[in-house]
Amino acid sequence: MKFSIAMLVKDEEKNLERTLIPLKELEKYVDTEIVIVDTGSTDNTVEIAKKYTDKVYFHKWNNDFAAMRNISISYCNGDWILIVDADEVLYDVDKLVKLLKSSELNKYNSATINIVDFKKDILNSIENGELSIIPRLFRKDTVTYSGIIHEQPSIKGTLFSTNIRFIHYGYDNNDYKLVEYKVKRNLNLLFKALNENPDDTYILYQISATYHMHKDMPEALRYIEEAYKIAKIKNERSLNVYKKYCALLYQIKDYEKLNIIAAEAIEKSGNSLDFYLFLGESLYHLGDYKKALDAYDKYLSLHNNLYSKGLVLDITACISTRHAKDNILYNMAMCYYNLNMEDKALDKLFEIKDESIIKFKISMFIKIIFSTKRWDKFKNVEKYMDKYSYEDILMFVEQELTLQDLESLDEKYICGDLKDIFAFTKYFKKSSNISDEIEDKLKAIIEKNKMMYSIYVYYLLKKDVNNMKFLMKYGRDKIEIILYKLCDKYYDLNIVLCEFLNTNMEHNLENIFIRTLIAKALLLGKNLNEDDSKKIFLDYIWEKYYTILKIYNVNEIDNNIFMLPSEERFIIELKDILSYRYEEPLKYIKSIKDALYLENSYAEYVKLLSKEIEEPVNKDIKAMIPELARSIESLINSEKYQEAYDTIEEALTLIKFDYDIMVLKLELLIKFNYTKEAIDCLKDIILYGPTKKVNKLIQECF
């Protein structure tokens, strides 16, 4: 028997060789010819094709896929013809050879093959990739194609179902230019066809599918709904239309409509894997757990028979949900759980094979084990534990299980990390503080896994906030997120952290990093009273501004502020606004109101600053300030320090703030080691001083 392979290609240099290698291998076992029609390649496609076959033909593209497909078939001399696209790779070479050498095809004119979409890797694709059953193998002179795009073959008689698989690599959705080109080209052809046949449900379906691929959901829904309405009027079976409609409704979570459409589709299709999944999902999300279980059971039954050989009764709907089996098993477990059938729920959970689902939902496994007291099942959970699932389990055990639950546990069934989690949580529930021994053990776990676990962070900081130095080495960004969530949840931690900010005044960059990190978490946690909020917010601004100046070059900040993270831009802009508070009160009020929209996370704290309105300084007093500053400086130079300090304090009762006088005050406080007072003075200088002078002071002196 002679066997022909017919291909249409254009600019396929990235895919073609991968496709031709296994097809060329067929020549070792079957008299095979590879026929390639090129429609205008401008890359190396033709050169690659000629390495594998001498039957390469050239035809100008005419915007009609079916016509071009029929041209490619016309060059074939084989008894049977296989249609292959350049982005498809034959996976089952041996099965195809066996089929061609057998007598199985003798009763048929055409047969299907299975196109499996590539997903992550080849093995995963074979097991889980979307699978389409498509007629691609034909006896010579029995088939012609029609349709200018997404061409369809005319099929005579009954189809034979094969188990031969091709991996479909498609085109890379990250190649935006290619995606846009193909979407535009396909839509142009489809709308041209629609103008000629406005009631053609297949064309409407393909338009919807193209928009869906382009992630244009409104247009995808519009055209599939139109196709659905026309199909109902014409009483067409149109399972592809139902399939796409269900997929779109599922994606937008319209479960009520999905329930109706999926039920209609089952009526028309008889048995379809996809539609039972959609029906089950709609019922599950609508809370009808008994009916959902019935639909899921039917899905599993069809899934088990997926690869049975025999006649294909329906090839119009692809099997796109076969990868969903383990998700369905999980949903079935939740149905049983919601129906108070915990034992069945647990058994169903342990039918799941996908490790990623088990790890993601591992807390539910533990919850149901505690419900059923089937402690021996913990051995099945332990093997899926890793340093990443550790956090989920720890949070669940701490939040969801009572001390009574933990004391009911038969500990002979648990070991390793799970045993530690249960033991530590039991300890935490008995004592609000931790011992030195437990502190060391928690640190050892964090060090071993190089991971911070929220509950352990909570207890370590309650024990000693200086543990922040230990925690920060595992990621400043990570501890920031953890700390914010803890401040939001645990009011007692807010008290501990506020006390730390009030007492730990050491002025070095490491300590300021820690203070700003804690201050931000307290502010975002929003568990502070108004007085604490205002103080911590102002402390956060000046210390954060100080670190920005220490990290970045001042000139770079001025010239490239747009390159900074949004929060750092906010701090810089807010510091500028604060510098107007004493010098230009009216400008300050207006700018503070505008600042409410700079960073939403801090809007309520900015609003607090808008209440601080200063009376303008008397012009006569203001005119005296430069001379007063010179007088104070002269007293300092004469070592009359107390007189200088008293003069500063008296001046500040009149004017409240003046940059030059505040700098002189800071000089005196530092000279006599008044650390806390010096830091408070520096804070006011940075917050309210002219930006350029402040920047110079920090760069040169601090």
Task: Give the tens place of pLDDT for each residue, 24-62.
Answer: 999 999 999 999 999 999 999 999 999 999 999 999 998
Q: What count of other Cβ atoms lies within 10 Å of the Cβ of residue 107?
A: 9
Q: Are residues 104 and 212 in the same domain?
A: no
What pLDDT score was predicted for residue 318?
47
Q: What's the first-to-final CA gap in the chain, in angstroms?
A: 89
Whether 663 is covered by a domain: the verdict is: yes
Radius of gyration of the chain, Cα coordinates, nearest whole angstrom? 36
Number of separate domains in the chain:
4
Q: Are residues 200 and 239 in the same domain?
A: yes
More confidently predicted of 323 and 329: 329
CA angle, residues 147, 159, 36, in degrees to nearest 5 = 50
Q: Are residues 208 and 156 in the same domain?
A: no
- Give the whole-angstrom CA distance, residue 138 versus residue 154: 10
Task: Label the pairing between strands 145-146 and 152-153.
Answer: antiparallel
- What number is the average pLDDT over the span 545-553? 89
pLDDT digits (tens, 9 = 90+) for 497-517: 999 999 887 888 889 999 999
Domain of residue 138, CATH code: 3.90.550.10
- What number is the average pLDDT over the span 203-217? 91
Last residue of a domain, one of 143, 168, 193: 168
Q: Are residues 44 and 109 in the same domain?
A: yes
Q: Is the pLDDT of residue 306 over 70?
A: no
- Residue whose C-alpha is closest to residue 422's, from 430, 436, 368: 430
Element (H, E) at 134: strand 131-139
Residue 558's SS3 state is helix
Q: Are residues 196 and 261 in the same domain?
A: yes
Whether 192 is covered by a domain: the verdict is: yes
- Residue whose C-alpha is closest to residue 543's, from 583, 592, 506: 506
- Give the whole-angstrom CA distance, residue 43 versus residue 376: 62
Domain of residue 224, CATH code: 1.25.40.10
pTM for the whole thing? Answer: 0.73
Q: Are residues 310 and 415 in the same domain?
A: no
Whether 8 is covered by a domain: the verdict is: yes
Q: Is the pLDDT of residue 286 over 70?
A: yes
Q: What count of other Cβ atoms lies within 10 Å of the Cβ of residue 47?
A: 12
- Give the whole-angstrom CA distance, residue 643 versus residue 640: 6
Element (H, E) at 4: strand 2-9
Whether 638 is covered by a domain: the verdict is: yes
Q: Is the pLDDT of residue 308 over 70?
A: no
pLDDT digits (tens, 9 = 90+) for 409-419: 998 999 889 99
Whether 434 is covered by a domain: the verdict is: no
Q: Are residues 123 and 233 in the same domain?
A: no
Q: Are residues 68 and 158 in the same domain?
A: yes
Which domain covers residue 253, as residue numbers? Answer: 176-328
Last residue of a domain, one of 427, 447, 481: 427
* Residue 633 burial (C-beta neighbours within 10 Å; 0-12, 13-18, 19+): middle
Whether 483 is covered by a domain: the verdict is: no
Q: Are residues 20 and 125 in the same domain?
A: yes
- Give the whole-angstrom CA distance, residue 138 versus residue 153: 10
Local structure of residue 136 (DSSP, 8 states): E
Last residue of a domain, one of 285, 310, 328: 328
Model confidence at 263, pLDDT cuts 50, 70, 90, reads very high
Model confidence at 701, pLDDT cuts 50, 70, 90, reads confident
pLDDT digits (tens, 9 = 90+) for 606-643: 999 887 776 776 777 778 888 989 999 999 999 999 99
